[in-house]
């Protein structure tokens, strides 16, 4: 199970100049925003990274980081865990289960999840909330991460596991956003 008390949410490089190049980026963005909203509602810490924001811009507003009280960290390493500020922010949460979403699946997401494994953490990569410019890169990244020992889940799986019960007060608040998710045509 992906327990919320053990989880942090890591939003990797969902930036202004990168998003338009991502295959089916709108569907991934919708799921990233759901994860951020759920994290905020359930007290899951959020750490967001921005790869060279002077060139790629900042995190797109649709992600909803302002509502999640997220730590936003600039980086130049592809493996965000190699950036001391990111590693320190995640270590400070005391939670060994980073749930990773963002762009690009085969570069920064892949290397960040591998870095999490190197730290001895138990990362989850959210398959429908990560994206790449090309479908083949997305698929190869997920296959490699599975082989390396990362857990692969979907955004809806993560949210329902964080909730644990329909009696959680956040359930009714999150249900409309879950129901509003686009269909399979938006997922690679």
Question: What is the set of active-site residues?
Answer: 13, 75, 108
In the three-class reduction of DSSP (H, G, I as helix; E, B as strand; rest coil), residue 126 is classed as: strand
Environment class of 185 (CB within 10 Å of its CB; exposed 0-12, middle 13-18, buried 19+): exposed
**DSSP H or E run through 146:** helix 135-148
CA nearest neighbour of 11 among 54, 67, 24: 67
**123 close to 150: Cβ distance less than 8 angstroms:** yes
Task: Say how many CA atoms lie within 13 Å of 117 toward its Cβ.
Answer: 16
DSSP 165: S
For residues 43-56, one letter each, b for 16 or more C-beta atoms within 10 angstroms of the residue's C-beta and e for the rest, the string is: ebbbbbbbbebeeb
CB 124 within 8 A of CB 158: yes
């Amino acid at each position: 199970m992906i327990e919320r008390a053990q989880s942090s949410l890591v939003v990797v490089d969902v930036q202004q100049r990168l998003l338009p190049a991502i295959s089916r980026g709108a569907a991934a963005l919708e799921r990233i925003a759901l994860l951020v909203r759920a994290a905020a509602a359930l007290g899951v810490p959020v750490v967001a990274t921005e790869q060279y924001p002077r060139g790629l811009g900042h995190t797109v507003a649709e992600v909803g980081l302002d509502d999640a009280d997220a730590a936003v960290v600039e980086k130049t390493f592809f493996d965000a865990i190699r950036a001391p500020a990111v590693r320190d922010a995640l270590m400070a949460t005391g939670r060994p289960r980073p749930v990773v979403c963002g762009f690009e699946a085969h570069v920064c997401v892949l290397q960040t999840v591998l870095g999490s494994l190197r730290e001895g953490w138990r990362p989850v990569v959210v398959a429908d909330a990560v994206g790449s410019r090309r479908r083949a890169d997305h698929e190869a990244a997920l296959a490699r991460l599975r082989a390396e020992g990362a857990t692969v889940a979907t955004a809806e799986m993560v949210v329902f596991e964080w909730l644990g019960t329909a009696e959680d007060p956040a359930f009714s608040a999150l249900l409309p956003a879950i129901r509003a998710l686009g269909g399979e045509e938006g997922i690679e």
